[in-house]
Structure 1
Amino acid sequence: MAWRLTLLALLLSLLSSCGFHLRGNLPLSQFPAIYVQSEAHSELAALLKQRFSQNQVELLGSYQQDRPALQLVRDTLERRTLSLFANGQVAEYELIYKVEYRIQLPGEQEQFYQFELYRDYQDDPNQALAKAQELELLLSELRQQAANRIIRQLARLG
Structure 2
Amino acid sequence: MKKIIASLLILSLSACGWHLRGSTSGSDKLAMTQPLNLTIESSDNHSQLVNSLRQALPGYKITEVEKNTAQTLVLNIGSETLDKRTAGVGSDALTSAYEIILRAPFSISSAGNLITPKDTAASITRTYNYNVNNANSAAQEEELVLREMRRELAQTILRRVKNLAAKQSTTPASSTQTAQ
- Please tell me the TM-score bracket, short chain as reference: 0.7 to 0.9
Structure 2 residue aligned with 1:127: 134
* Structure 2: tracts of 5 or more residues without a match: 167-180
Q: Which of these residues, 21, 26, 38, is aligned with residue 34 of structure 1?
A: 38
Determine the C-alpha separation between the residues in 1 that align with 2:100 and 2:106: 20
Match of 1:146 in 2: 153
8 A contact 2:103–2:124 mirrored in 1: yes
- Within 5 A, what are the aligned runs for 1:36-115? 36-38=40-42, 39-85=44-90, 88-106=93-111, 108-112=113-117, 113-115=120-122
Code of the residue aligned with 1:71 in structure 2: it is: N
Equivalent pairs counted in the alignment come to 146
Q: Which structure 1 segments of 5+ residues have no match?
A: none
Instruction: Give the equivalent residue in structure 1 for 2:174.
Output: none
What is the DSSP-based 3-state SS (H/G/I as helix, E as strand, rest coil) of the residue aligned with 1:74? coil
**CA-CA distance at 1:72 after TM superposition:** 0.7
Comparing 148-157 with 47-56, greater Cα deviation is found at 47-56
TM-score, with length taken from structure 2:
0.66
Hey, what does 2:176 align to over in structure 1?
A: none
CA RMSD of aligned residues (A): 3.2
Question: How far 1:87 moved relative to its partner?
Answer: 5.3
In percent, how many aligned pairs have the same letter? 23
Q: CA deviation at 1:85?
A: 4.4
Query: What TM-score comes out, normalization by structure 1 length?
Result: 0.74
Give me the whole-angstrom Cα distance separating, in 2, the residues matched to 1:63 and 1:154: 16
